[in-house]
């Protein structure tokens, strides 16, 4: 569990450096809202990682084993790439910054492939809830580092210095890589063709084609309401004249603590009521939490309401994430975990980074308040799919 916590930290550390943190840097450098939101496409590798996941599944590095060897290589490359980003400026080097953002996102997505596979390999079904909670906890601690600490330090050091510091923090991610053990009974596919075809064949033969396709559609839609808010939250709060320090202390600090509490609460509740009911309850709460952003858009720059909004949204997001990660783990066969989990999580990233890319234009057309109402309604299609494969009266375990 401690290694899973550490790998969660390693996975979470690069994410905001190509998303919210980068958006804040661009906003402060005077980049317009449309360009800032379209920069979410820098994270496209997270949506496409299933394309090279079979390579990671098939080939085994000559050191540290099938999973940890890949993690070590990627972590070292990420340290260097984030260091290069620290030397750039959005106002001066926007195109090069986009290229380096894609590089960091590619390396981060590759690390996610292996970390997710490691977690799916090593956790037994009764450990899925606790393991999901620990993974999300480590992930959110990393977001606390690249969110709260980065935003606060940016007002004093500038963003270049902050990114250089974050490159240094990647060294901490090496600890669980060397400390962890290799999963038992973890045989690589015999060929690259087998690594590509057999995971898909096994997934759909186990679940049947119709159920499998419905699950993939559900994964794409389940967190759409949360993703629509997440991609615009930083520019929205900055437009209300909250400072970077406010965002670092509240959204990056207190809000992420609320996420940690929500994640731990979600993991505990999941173990008590099961994954199916957790998906229903937490999905509804996740969507309804966007009402507070709608209210903040109407009221304006009220600091107290902003604190409440951020905490409610993050707490509900934490619970929803714990249930969602637990659900994804149950869908994977350990032999093909890298490819299968990469396919599933790529759909999550597709919703988070690509589907929401036009949000800036929607905000310009509709205004902030109407946009947040739209985000709540976007949760309904995903929730309507639950009865087909996650009925309230049943529960899901890995098969």
Q: How confident is the model at residue 252 (pLDDT cuts 50, 70, 90)?
A: low
CA distance 64 to 35: 41
Q: How confident is the model at residue 171 (pLDDT cuts 50, 70, 90)?
A: confident
Supply the pLDDT for residue 292: 92
Share of the chain above pLDDT 70, in %: 89
Q: Is residue 311 part of a domain?
A: yes
Measured between alpha carbons, how far is residue 200 from residues 219, 271, 339 in Å? 16, 29, 9
Radius of gyration of the chain (CA): 20
CB neighbour burial string for 244-279, b if at least 16 within 10 angstroms, e if fewer = bbbbbbbbbbbbbbbbbbbbbbbbebbbeebbbbbb
Supply the pLDDT for residue 345: 75
Supply the pLDDT for residue 126: 66
CA distance 11 to 290: 26
Supply the pLDDT for residue 65: 76
Supply the pLDDT for residue 399: 43
Look up the domain containing 98 and give its range.
2-181+188-389
Supply the pLDDT for residue 291: 92
| Average pLDDT score over residue span 95-119 | 86
Q: Is residue 128 part of a domain?
A: yes
CA distance 282 to 284: 5
pLDDT score of 397 more than 60:
no
| Average pLDDT score over residue span 4-21 | 83
Q: Give the HSE-up count for residue 43: Cα atoms under 13 Å, Cβ half-sphere.
A: 30
Q: How confident is the model at residue 185 (pLDDT cuts 50, 70, 90)?
A: low
**171 CB neighbour count, 10 Å cutoff:** 11
Q: Give the HSE-up count for residue 69: Cα atoms under 13 Å, Cβ half-sphere.
A: 12
Please state whether the predicted TM-score (pTM) of the whole model is above 0.75.
Answer: no
| Average pLDDT score over residue span 226-248 | 79
- What beta strand segments (E) does the chain contain? none
Q: Is residue 289 part of a domain?
A: yes
Q: pLDDT tens digit string along 255-301? A: 778 887 888 888 788 878 888 888 899 989 988 999 999 999 898 87
Q: Is residue 398 part of a domain?
A: no
pLDDT score of 353 more than 80:
no
Supply the pLDDT for residue 398: 45
Please say whether the beta carbons of 234 and 23 come within 8 A.
yes
Supply the pLDDT for residue 391: 82
Q: How confident is the model at residue 107 (pLDDT cuts 50, 70, 90)?
A: very high
Give the least confident one: 32-41, 45-54, 65-74: 32-41
Please say whether the beta carbons of 14 and 100 come within 8 A.
no
| Average pLDDT score over residue span 97-111 | 88
Query: What's the CATH code of the domain at 294?
Result: 1.20.1250.20
Q: Is residue 39 part of a domain?
A: yes
Supply the pLDDT for residue 186: 61
Q: Is pLDDT larger for residue 112 or for residue 94?
A: 112
Supply the pLDDT for residue 342: 76
Instruction: List the end-to-end C-alpha distance of the chain, in Å, as a whole number.
Output: 22
Q: Is residue 395 part of a domain?
A: no
Supply the pLDDT for residue 175: 84
CA-wise closest residue to 223 among 319, 363, 361, 358: 319
Q: Is residue 140 part of a domain?
A: yes
Instruction: Provide the residue count of the chain.
Output: 399
**212 CB neighbour count, 10 Å cutoff:** 17
**189 CB neighbour count, 10 Å cutoff:** 20
CA-wise closest residue to 373 among 381, 364, 382, 363: 363
Q: What are phi and psi of 364, to 5 degrees?
A: -65, -35
Supply the pLDDT for residue 131: 75
CA distance 288 to 271: 23
CA distance 200 to 192: 13
Q: How many domains does the chain have?
A: 1
Measured between alpha carbons, how far is residue 276 from residues 65, 284, 391, 394 in Å? 34, 13, 6, 7
Supply the pLDDT for residue 200: 78
Q: Residue 333, SS3?
A: coil
pLDDT score of 352 more than 80:
no
**121 CB neighbour count, 10 Å cutoff:** 20
Q: Is residue 397 part of a domain?
A: no
């Amino acid at each position: 569990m401690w290694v899973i916590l550490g790998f969660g930290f390693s996975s979470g550390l690069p994410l905001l450096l190509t998303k919210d943190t980068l958006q804040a840097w661009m906003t402060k450098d005077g980049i317009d809202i449309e360009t800032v939101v379209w920069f979410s496409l820098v994270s496209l590798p997270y949506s496409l990682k299933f394309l090279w996941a079979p390579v990671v599944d098939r080939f085994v590095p000559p050191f540290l084993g099938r999973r940890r060897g890949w993690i070590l290589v990627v972590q070292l490359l990420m340290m260097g790439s984030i260091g290069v980003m620290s030397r750039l400026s959005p106002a001066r080097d926007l195109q090069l910054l986009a290229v380096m953002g894609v590089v960091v996102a590619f390396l981060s997505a590759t690390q996610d492939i292996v970390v997710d596979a490691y977690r799916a390999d090593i956790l037994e079904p009764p450990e899925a809830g606790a393991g999901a909670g620990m993974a999300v906890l480590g992930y959110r601690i990393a977001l606390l580092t690249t969110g709260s600490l980065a935003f606060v330090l940016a007002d004093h050091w500038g963003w270049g210095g902050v990114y250089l510091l974050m490159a240094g923090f990647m060294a901490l991610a090496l600890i669980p890589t060397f400390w962890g053990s290799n999963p038992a009974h973890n045989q690589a596919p015999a060929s690259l063709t087998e690594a590509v075809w057999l995971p898909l064949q096994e997934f759909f033969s186990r679940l049947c084609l119709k159920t499998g396709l419905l699950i993939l559609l559900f994964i794409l839609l389940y967190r759409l309401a949360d993703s629509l808010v997440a991609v615009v939250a930083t520019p929205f709060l900055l437009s209300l004249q909250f400072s970077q320090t406010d965002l670092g202390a509240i959204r990056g600090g207190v809000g992420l603590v609320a996420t940690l509490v929500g994640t731990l609460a979600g993991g505990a509740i999941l173990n008590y009521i099961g994954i199916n009911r957790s998906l229903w309850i937490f999905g509804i709460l996740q969507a309804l939490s966007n009402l507070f952003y709608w209210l903040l858009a109407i009221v304006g720059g009220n600091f107290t309401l902003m604190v409440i909004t951020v905490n409610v949204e993050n707490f509900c997001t934490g619970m929803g994430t714990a249930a969602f990660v637990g659900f994804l783990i149950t869908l994977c066969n350990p032999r093909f975990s890298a490819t299968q989990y990469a396919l599933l999580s790529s759909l999550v990233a597709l919703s988070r980074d690509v589907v929401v890319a036009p949000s800036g234009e929607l905000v310009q057309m509709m205004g902030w308040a109407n946009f947040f109402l739209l985000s709540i309604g976007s949760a309904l299609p995903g929730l309507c799919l639950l009865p087909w494969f996650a009925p309230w009266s049943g529960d899901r375990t890995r098969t």
